[in-house]
Amino acid sequence: MSVSTVKLPAGGTPAEQVLRQMGDLRVHDANWREGRTWSLVYYPGEEIYDFLKKAYTMFMSENGLNLAAFPSLRKFETEVVAMTADMLGGGPEAAGTMTSCGTESIIMAVKTYRDKARAERPEITRPEMILPETAHPAFEKAAHYLDVRPVRIPVGPDFRADVGAVRKAISENTILIVGSAPAYPHGVIDPIGDLAALAAERGIGCHVDSCLGGFLLPFIRKLGYPVPDFDFRVPGVTSISADVHKYGFAAKGASTIIYRDKSLRLHQFYIYTEWSGGIYAHPTMTGTRPGGAIAAAWAIMNHLGEEGYLRLADNIMKTSKKLMEGINSIPGLYILGRPDMSVFAFTSDTMDIYALGDAMDARGWHLDRQQRPPCLHMMVTPAHEKIADQFISDLGECALAVAEKKSAAPGGTAAMYGMMGTLPDRGVIKDFVLNFMDDLMSVK
């Protein structure tokens, strides 16, 4: 936060007034309840939402920093991990922890493989991990924080990791191969079997990032949708990240990192024995761990059970199919690749796709912009069932207007994204985004 004129009020404000003010401030927020957003919020409906609030607030003061002090939280966490491991084909040796988000799970996985290599292969002084270009930036962040070199490889025309390129990229220093199930940008699952086989051949780790799909793919497979093997059923897969706060519909702050084998998890833990405050031993990156998030994850998994997740998955997949067919039926628009679940992107060869995004913004829809190739991104949740028809109708009208160049939203993002796409100097973009972030984090 930058220095500002905002100061702690000298006197307090009545609770009612503060809450009213907070409610008022939400007016300009993204309208996820009405299905207007296509990322960030996974809303399963008001009834489940109210239940989650109760479960969260019951434990909002408890701290998962010390599970020995809170046997309730210990039960919640270990059972969330056990249930998730089982859903993902883990055997009796599987073990893991909860973390606060997918990014933290990924950082923990990279730390685990780095520290395992340090312990067992000290000849590796410059560890590397192989990342398909569609892998989530959380891996880059982990690489940056943990001093592991990211080796990016391309994806094929189907947006799945190019296995040949992975094979070529493996070196003496490789400690980890990463695949996604699915990757966020186009919603397709990497060829996990091939990636894991390469990893197993060389005795290195294979992490599957299923932050997005871990709580949906097992259920859509049970519903009869074709889902390629992506989890511990694939020999050679050594760890999986899966987020309960995405398609698990938990409150924010709940992800899991699961290892095929308990011995791997030991490399994740951090222990400091010399502190005057006592021996500090911690399983994850953060210090204090919000009890509410851990409790709400356990609560939602028990409340929904397999039956509830199947019901939601059925709804999500039917809505996704409707939306994808609707988009493909609009002249000039098409879905990229063959998405494996409910996350996908669409583009156009005949119109400025970012201008279409701006036109949809003007109608109150928020679609994330992507690059390489330029496209718009969607992530479908149960909130979208009732607005799917309206969305397709608006998209059709906007596409027509953009194609006929009747819609050019002044001040929209099209010009900025168009310009950024043509800039060969990525440093300029980084500077631009740095300033943008600085501004965003300043009091207004």
Ligand X SMILES: Cc1ncc(COP(=O)(O)O)c(C=O)c1O
Residues near ligand X (CB under 6 A): 101-103, 136, 138, 180, 183-184, 209, 211-212, 243, 255
Q: Which is nearer to ligand X, 106 or 360 (CB)?
A: 106
CB 102, CB 136: distance < 8 Å:
yes
Supply the minimum distance, in Å, between the C-beta of residue 173 and ligand X.
Answer: 24
Q: Which is nearer to ligand X, 65 or 343 (CB)?
A: 343
Range 233-260 burial, b when 16+ CB lie within 10 A, else e: ebebbbbbbbbbbbbbbbbbbbbbbbbb
Angle, helices 353-362/414-422, rounded to nearest 10 degrees: 160
Paired strand residues for 149: 128
Q: Which amino acid is at 118?
A: R
Question: What is the rounded CA–CA span in Å between residue 9 and residue 414?
Answer: 41
Q: Which is nearer to ligand X, 102 or 337 (CB)?
A: 102
Provide the phi-psi class of 411: left if phi over 0, else alpha when psi is between -120 and 50, else beta.
left
Question: What is the rounded CA–CA span in Å between residue 113 and residue 264?
Answer: 8
Instruction: Tell me the residue nearest to ligand X as measured from the CB.
Output: 102
Q: Which is nearer to ligand X, 212 or 301 (CB)?
A: 212
Supply the minimum distance, in Å, between the C-beta of residue 291 and ligand X.
Answer: 19
Q: Which is nearer to ligand X, 329 or 371 (CB)?
A: 371
Which phi and psi (to 5°) does residue 365 adopt? -100, 140
Q: Which is nearer to ligand X, 166 or 359 (CB)?
A: 166
CB 337, CB 190: distance < 8 Å:
no
Q: Which is nearer to ligand X, 297 or 402 (CB)?
A: 297
Query: What residues contact 62, with CB distance under 8 A and at least 6 apart?
Result: 70, 72, 73, 291, 292, 295
CB 90, CB 83: distance < 8 Å:
no
Supply the minimum distance, in Å, between the C-beta of residue 337 and ligand X.
Answer: 15
Supply the minimum distance, in Å, between the C-beta of residue 343 and ligand X.
Answer: 8
Supply the minimum distance, in Å, between the C-beta of residue 6 and ligand X.
Answer: 28
Q: Are strands 333-335 and 205-209 parallel, antiparallel or unpaired?
A: unpaired
Paired strand residues for 290: 63
Supply the minimum distance, in Å, between the C-beta of residue 131 and ligand X.
Answer: 12
Q: Which is nearer to ligand X, 211 or 359 (CB)?
A: 211
Supply the minimum distance, in Å, between the C-beta of residue 152 and ligand X.
Answer: 16
Supply the minimum distance, in Å, between the C-beta of residue 139 and ligand X.
Answer: 9
Question: What is the rounded CA–CA span in Å between residue 14 and residue 23?
Answer: 14
Q: Which is nearer to ligand X, 254 or 403 (CB)?
A: 254
Helix (H) or strand (E) holding 193: helix 192-202
Question: What is the rounded CA–CA span in Å between residue 347 and residue 215?
Answer: 27
Supply the minimum distance, in Å, between the C-beta of residue 106 and ligand X.
Answer: 6
Question: What is the rounded CA–CA span in Å between residue 284 and residue 275?
Answer: 18
Helix (H) or strand (E) holding 98: strand 95-99
